[in-house]
Structure 1
Amino acid sequence: MQLLLDLDSEVPIYQQIRDRVVEAIADGALKPGESLPSTRQFAVDLAINFHTVNKAYDLLRREGIIRINRKSGAVVHPDVRRATAELRVGVDWEQRLRTLLAEAVVRGVPDEEIVTYVRTTLKGFGRGGGAENG
């Protein structure tokens, strides 16, 4: 799995890994039940400390997005939607969205441009611009 990380970003690397994995699942690049690289291998591939990958995986596990098993390693949760809906603990996507929208407002981005971007992004995830999928 290829991830693009910005090592100069203010966003912590573990959060970038978490975000890119979630995006890969939404894009269909990672499927439910699919294995992720081991923390050590991923760290080598990304040229970062394996504890950073471990922190990202732990966050994804707590959010119900992946499962971690001693034998099979980290895998995308087979029923990620249901697992995430059941957990909801620590997952405050509405607050994250509110903060992103606030940033757009502060920067003067017109409402129509924000809505257009959201619809375009959702279509990119294969959702068709707002219709629930499944």
Structure 2
Amino acid sequence: MYLTLDLESEEPIYTQLKYQIIAGIAKKELSPGEGLPSVRSLAADLGINLHTVNKAYQQLKQEGFILIHRQKGVVVNPDGVPQANEAYWSELESKIHPLIAEAVCRNVSEKDFLQLCSQIFTKFNIKDDES
């Protein structure tokens, strides 16, 4: 999996890293049980502070995307990502709500918003369709 970070972005680097790893899992570029680079190794490869990588990894661990073993290192959760539960749906709604509010303020139609969402979903499902 290829990671690219925008060091000039307003989005924190650890967040960019976290979301790219999640996208890699969603696109099946990273498989359950697959190893990820160590904190030090990834930090050195990307030219960023190891605490930045550690913060991304800790959040991914808390959210169930990865496991961190002393002996095995960092791996994509072998059991897969936990399924959406009520708490996840609530969090998802709280994240989407301000995006929709801003889209409405900018006169983005519901149809166009949903079409964009559909296009993004399609990007994640391409690998499934090719199998």
- Provide the TM-score with structure 1 as the length reference: 0.82
Q: Which has the higher contact order (CA 8 A, sep 6+)?
A: 2
Alpha carbons of 1:85 and 1:113: their partners in 2 closer, same or farther (altered >3 Å)?
A: closer
Deviation >4 Å, runs of 4+: none
Local SS of the residue matching 1:32 = coil
- Matched to 1:95, the amino acid is S
Of 31-40 and 100-109, the range deviating more from structure 2: 100-109
| Matched ranges for 1:78-97 at <5 A | 78-81=78-81, 83=82, 85=84, 92-97=91-96
Equivalent residues in 2 for 1:102-117 (5 A)?
102-117=101-116
Match of 2:22 in 1: 22
Unaligned runs of 5+ in 2: 127-131
CA 1:63/1:108 → structure 2, altered by over 3 Å: closer, same or farther?
same
CA contact (8 A) 1:67 1:74 kept: yes
Which deviates further from its counterpart, 100-109 or 49-58? 100-109
Give the drift of 1:100.
2.3
Question: What is the rounded CA distance, in whole Å, between the counterparts of 2:108 and 2:55 in structure 1?
Answer: 34
Paired with 2:61 and 2:124, the residues of 1 have a C-alpha distance of 22
Change (3 A) 1:34 1:113: same
What corresponds to 1:131 in structure 2? none
Task: Spell out, residue by residue over 1:77-110, the C-alpha distance to the aligned partner (whole angstroms, 9 max, x if none).
Answer: 11233x3547x58x82321122222232233222
RMSD: 2.2
Residue deviations 1:90-132, cap 9 Å, x none? x8232112222223223322211111111111122118xxxxx
Equivalent residues, number: 125
> Residues of 1 paired with 2:99 and 2:5: CA distance?
20
Q: Give the gaps of 5 or more residues in structure 1.
A: 128-134
Structure richer in helix, relative to its length:
2
Task: Quote the residue 2:77 is aligned against.
Answer: 77
Looking at structure 2, the residues matched to 14 and 59 of structure 1 have their Cα atoms a distance apart, in angstroms, of 9
The percentage of aligned residue pairs carrying the same residue is: 44
